Each structure stands twice: as structure tokens, then as C-alpha cells.
Amino acid sequence: MSHDITPSGAIDWDRPGRRFYHVPFTLDDAWERVRVPLYIACALRPGTTVVAIGGTHGDEYEGPVGLKNLIGALDPGALVAGRLIVIPVLNVPAFRAARRGSPLDGRNMNRVFPGRADGTITERIARFVTDEVLARAHVVIDIHAAGGGFEIARCASFHDVPDRALFRACEETALLFGMPFVLVYTSGMGTGLLTEQAEATGKITIGGEFGYGASTDLREVRWAHHGVLNVLRRFGLLASPVEALTPPGLDRQRVVVATDIDRYVTAPIRGVSEPLVPLGAYVTAGTPVARLHDFDRIDEPGVTIHADLDGYVLVRRFRAQTEQGDVVMVIGQERTT
């Protein structure tokens, strides 16, 4: 089955049924255009608008593949209310180059929000998302994977937003993905995140780390696809019941907090990193969690890094070659309510 893709022209955000678009953005210094894929499906009845985005970073694949599968398989006639907007690949130039940021202007899409109408190509795409997509949303899902250097325990995530009602709504929505962890994470990574823009305007906003190493993982693609379906069920877009997506044998999903970026463990020296505990393991303060080897000094044992608090190992260095200051470990503490 193939579908016509509307190449340009006005986007119909409201008509019942589904439409595929390529939204054109003219390059900064040429006539060619970047075409950002956009899918819109509207039910006959108004309701919640759910937005799902993949490929905010160009070397993360579970979001694009899971969301492409989602829009390919979803019967728009099954939507009973509301609207689904999907951008399977947001930073198209970065995606084509298999890079985190855009090769056209060097910008990281996830640091330029809310974007600029008169800015570079990445800033202009972000501005479109802010004004046309996020502004229409009630729920925003931005699916990521860890970059080329480290691996993160599979998690849906959200920021520690001050509004407690919004916090609880984000937590409940993040749990729908069925992933082993829900991470409440730091807002100290800089400014200009897509999710920060969404939550600042009161949207239920979910991020997540669905894989690592620029690969495409089996379970994780399914979480991206079926987790979003669960969100559609929860918010009344689909009538079917929420599906259990937790892995077999998992006793419970863990909501963990790692909001203090100053406690992210960084390498004191450059070297080759060796994990001493598995990702996702529970450790107590003082436990050796990673070692950095200096291969100029094979007579030395290396520098051992110890956990500085009790909690779950959420991040490990994945690419062994490690520079001083690289994050080698993040430990999250389970949230108790």
C-alpha cells in the first residue's frame, strides 16, 4: 500500500482522515529544500491531540522506525476521537548524515527550541514545530536513544516539572510504555530542548532513551510503536484497552530520579573504561562501578570509580575510549511517594 505525499501547500490539520506531508524548508544558501515528513490523522470527534516525534537527533533509530511502523499500521478509522500528529524524522539532514546534529548548520535540534523563523535551517524547522505542532498538542512524545558514546537503561523520561499535577500526568503517561525505568531527569543539560519547550507551555511531555549505539533494537522499536499506541488508548483516541508492555520477568517498573547533573559521574582521567556492574543494577554507595585503564601504564590497576549514592546504574560508557570529563556513570534513586 502506498500513499500520496502532499509535496507542499497548506497543511490541513483538522479534516477527519489521515494525510502524509513533506513540509519543505529551503536551505540556507541554495534552492534545494529539506522535506520533513509529517503525518496527521484526525478522528470525526474532537479530543486530545497527541504528537509523537522521532529523529530529533539524526543517529537515533528506534523512534523513526517505531513511528513509521505505527503510522503504517494504524487504521485511521479506528481513531474514535482527537488527533495524532507524527513526525518520524525531525532533523532530516542529520538523519541522512547519521549524525546527532545537522551537517548543514552544525546545530543540535534539541538545543535550538523554540527556534527562529529567520534562523538557520535547524532553527527554522524547530520554529515550525513550536508554532504549528507543539501549539496544537496536549501530549508530546519525543523519542530518543543514547548517542554513540554511552548507553542508557531503557527508559521513558520526563523533566522534574514544578507543577505537581503536570508531574503526575507525565509520570503516568511515561509508565504506559512498559519500559523497565521511568527516568525523572535533569533540566541542567542546557536550554533549547524540544521537551522543555513543550512542558513550558503545559503539555504532558515525555522523552525517552529507546536504544543506543546507532542501532535498531527489537524490543525498543516495539516500545516506541506500541507505547505510543498505549498513549492513544489512555487519552481516548483509541477504544482498545492499554496493552501490557513490560518485559517478561520484570517485577515492577522503577521510577528513578537523576536530576542533579553535578552528580553525573565523569571520568577523572582519559583512558579505556570498563564497567564493573551491569547497566540497570542496583548498587550501594561505595560500590566500585567502573574502572578507567591507562594503557601507557599496564603496571597500574587503573582508576576505580565508586558509586556515591545508593541507586540504579542508569548510564554506562559504551564506547570504551574515554576522555577526561566524559560521563561514565549516572546513578538514579528510586522515587518514593
Site residues (CB under 5 A) for Zn ion?
A: 57, 60, 144
Output the smallest distance, CB 79 to Zn ion, in A. 28
User: Closest by alpha carbon to 74, among 217, 233, 235?
Assistant: 233
Evaluate whether 79 touches 235 at the Cβ level (below 8 Å): no
Output the smallest distance, CB 72 to Zn ion, in A. 23
Nearer to Zn ion, 88 or 271 (CB): 88
Nearer to Zn ion, 83 or 225 (CB): 225
Nearer to Zn ion, 60 or 171 (CB): 60
- Residue type for position 329: M
User: Closest by alpha carbon to 191, among 77, 91, 114, 262?
Assistant: 114
Separation of alpha carbons 4 and 164, rounded Å: 43
Output the smallest distance, CB 182 to Zn ion, in A. 17
Nearer to Zn ion, 68 or 144 (CB): 144
Nearer to Zn ion, 57 or 107 (CB): 57
Provide the Cα torsion 255, 187, 99, 155; round to 10°. Answer: 0
Count of CA atoms in the C-beta half-sphere (13 A) of 93: 22
Output the smallest distance, CB 206 to Zn ion, in A. 14
Residue 314 makes CB contacts below 8 A (sequence gap 6+) with 152, 153, 155, 181, 183, 256, 258, 279, 280, 330, 331, 332
Output the smallest distance, CB 113 to Zn ion, in A. 13
Evaluate whether 302 touches 292 at the Cβ level (below 8 Å): yes
